[in-house]
Amino acid sequence: MRTHAQQIREQPERPIVVRDQDIPALIAVLAGFEGTVRLRDPQGFIEFVHRRFEDLDLVSDDSADPDQLADALLALNHRLREARGENEGIP
């Protein structure tokens, strides 16, 4: 899967949109974070979010690599900020 930054570089004229998976991904992050706060279980939060991101095809299902999840979270952040109009594009 190409990163959001790669998509912008390859198609700079394409409008920035939030992906269909982005809203359920954010809901998963918020739900997982709430559970983490209540249970004080940061590892459970990471595993929960990774599983949800796998279900949404935002990370590959063959790896529990924390960097892959961090990259997916960063890409989600960029897409949302672009859709909101905060940036002129990602360098």
> For residue 54, with 0-12 CB atoms within 10 Å meaning exposed, 13-18 middle and 19 or more buried, which class applies?
middle
| pLDDT tens digits for range 43-52 | 888 888 888 8
Contact assessment for residue 53 and residue 72, using Cβ atoms and an 8 Å cutoff: yes
What's the pLDDT band for 91 if we cut at 50, 70, 90? very low
Where do the structural domains in the chain lie, given as residue ranges?
A: 19-82
User: What's the rounded Cα separation, in Å, for the pair 51 and 83?
Assistant: 25
Give mean pLDDT, residues 8-24: 77
The 10s digit of each residue's pLDDT in 23-32 is 889 988 998 8
Cα 86 off chain centre by = 17
Cβ 66 vs Cβ 74: under 8 Å: no
pLDDT greater at residue 8 or residue 30: 30
